[in-house]
């Protein structure tokens, strides 16, 4: 691949795998303001022969290898010499690629129009970083949540509800939970491993597909109003996950897994509370902790 400068470090094209991020960690009833590393996720739009072709949402390290490998996987090139030039535009988050001789598959792909690919689960949909999702409104404040013990209980219940995952080990699971008055839930309800008050539980090989199934359920049923819902999720909290949750009006996204940087940026902008690493007596609140009654110095009952 000729004329191929190294992708520069830039806020739109960071060079690395993670960055330091402040958060509130709750452990055994005590909250602590700390800084931890969060996996980087950033958009990179590939401009192929002058046309916008695809946007990758990925960890932005080794971008030159990512671009060449993606071109080969899509059947655009068969050899590095098929690419005559790559120009990196760090300010706009773009890579301008020149391929003098496109394969028939590549020409067909250009006719389809732009696409968005996520970091781990195949084709997603255009994310908030694109004009097509600028209509996603911030999630209303809603009732909030004060009993933090519900968060690990939800995660445990999600694991108990995921029968297909237990059988296969290869599915993502999503549950939709209402943010109701906590005082109305008795201890038996809090201990319930499967029926935990979830409105719906759906699984799929793709985490985005599982979220779409929940969205379809909401369209077919009378889901609570925006701001009164929580998404309990089995995977990483990436940008596309947050956008899909916000479209549902979910105020909380709760996961035992990690968030990404772009996911947190979008969650902050859309007023979504992200709670990750929910494991045992520990959880990490990254955005909008006020919805959980956090942010002050006093210990939280747990």
Residue 16 in contact with residue 288, Cβ under 8 Å?
A: no
Any idea which residue has 């996961």 for tokens? 255
Same domain, 87 and 189: no
Same domain, 103 and 227: no
Residues designated as active site? 121
Pick from 69-73, 224-228, 234-238, 286-290: least confident: 69-73
pLDDT at 258: 94
Establish if 13 belongs to a structural domain. no
Is residue 246 pLDDT above 50, yes or no? Answer: yes
Establish if 93 belongs to a structural domain. yes
Q: How many domains is the chain partitioned into structurally?
A: 2
Same domain, 107 and 213: no
Is residue 62 pLDDT above 60, yes or no? Answer: yes
Same domain, 83 and 165: no
Instruction: Kindly report, residue by residue over 91-139, the tens digit of the pLDDT.
Output: 888 999 999 887 776 676 666 656 656 555 433 333 445 444 657 889 9
- Residue with the larger pLDDT of the pair 69 and 165: 69
Same domain, 204 and 278: yes
d(CA 116, CA 8): 22
pLDDT at 167: 54
Same domain, 85 and 203: no
Last residue of a domain, one of 69, 99, 117: 117
What's the mean per-residue pLDDT of the chain? 77
Same domain, 170 and 275: yes
Same domain, 189 and 110: no
Rounded to 5°, the CA angle 254-258-262 comes to 95
Same domain, 163 and 253: yes
Task: Label residue 260 by pLDDT band (50, 70, 90).
Answer: very high
pLDDT at 169: 60
pLDDT at 187: 43
Task: Label residue 205 by pLDDT band (50, 70, 90).
Answer: confident
The CATH number linked to 190 is 3.40.140.10
* Interval 36-51 mean pLDDT: 87
Establish if 262 belongs to a structural domain. yes
Residues making up the chain, counted from first to last:
302
Establish if 140 belongs to a structural domain. no
* Interval 237-263 mean pLDDT: 92
- Residue with the larger pLDDT of the pair 96 and 216: 96
User: Could you list the residue range(s) of the whole structural domain that residue 98 is in?
Assistant: 42-117
Establish if 249 belongs to a structural domain. yes
Establish if 3 belongs to a structural domain. no
- Residue with the larger pLDDT of the pair 249 and 219: 249
Instruction: Kindly report, residue by residue over 139-192, the tens digit of the pLDDT.
Output: 988 778 878 888 999 998 887 765 544 455 667 889 999 887 543 344 444 333
Same domain, 78 and 156: no
Establish if 112 belongs to a structural domain. yes
Is residue 255 pLDDT above 90, yes or no? Answer: yes
DSSP 134: T
pLDDT at 6: 52
Last residue of a domain, one of 99, 117, 135: 117
* Interval 261-288 mean pLDDT: 93
* Interval 238-259 mean pLDDT: 92
Same domain, 157 and 270: yes
90-105: b (≥16 Cβ within 10 Å) or e? beebbbbbebeebeee
- Residue with the larger pLDDT of the pair 255 and 240: 255
Establish if 215 belongs to a structural domain. yes
Same domain, 154 and 112: no
Q: What percent of the chain has pLDDT over 70?
A: 74
Q: Which of 202, 199, 185 is nearest to 145 (CA)?
A: 185
pTM of the model: 0.72
The CATH number linked to 72 is 3.10.20.10
């Amino acid at each position: 691949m000729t004329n191929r400068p190294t992708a520069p470090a830039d806020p739109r094209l960071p060079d690395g795998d993670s960055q330091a991020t402040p958060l509130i960690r709750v452990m055994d009833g005590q909250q602590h303001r700390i800084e931890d590393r969060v996996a980087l996720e950033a958009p990179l739009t590939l401009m192929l022969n002058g046309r916008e072709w695809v946007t990758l949402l990925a960890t932005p390290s080794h971008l030159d290898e990512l671009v060449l490998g993606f071109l080969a996987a899509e059947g655009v090139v068969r050899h590095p010499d098929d690419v005559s030039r790559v120009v990196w535009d760090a300010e706009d988050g773009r890579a301008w690629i020149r391929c003098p001789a496109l394969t028939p598959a590549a020409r067909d792909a250009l006719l389809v129009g732009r696409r968005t690919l996520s970091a781990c689960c195949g084709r997603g949909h255009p994310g908030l970083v694109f004009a097509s999702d600028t209509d996603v409104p911030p999630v209303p404040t809603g009732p909030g949540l004060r009993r933090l013990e519900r968060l690990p209980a939800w995660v445990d219940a999600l694991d108990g509800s995921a029968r297909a995952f237990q059988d296969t080990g290869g599915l993502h699971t999503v549950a939709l939970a209402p943010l109701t008055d906590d005082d109305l839930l008795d201890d038996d309800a809090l201990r319930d491993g499967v029926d935990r008050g979830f409105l719906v539980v759906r699984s799929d090989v793709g985490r985005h597909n599982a979220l779409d199934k929940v969205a379809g359920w909401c369209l077919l049923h009378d889901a609570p109003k925006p701001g009164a819902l929580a998404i309990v999720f089995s995977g990483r909290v990436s940008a596309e996950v947050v956008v899909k949750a916000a479209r549902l009006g979910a105020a909380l996204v709760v996961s035992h897994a990690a968030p990404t940087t772009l996911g947190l940026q979008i969650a902050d902008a859309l007023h979504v509370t992200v709670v990750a690493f929910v494991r045992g007596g520990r959880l990490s609140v990254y955005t909008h902790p006020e919805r959980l009654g956090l942010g002050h110095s006093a210990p939280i009952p747990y």
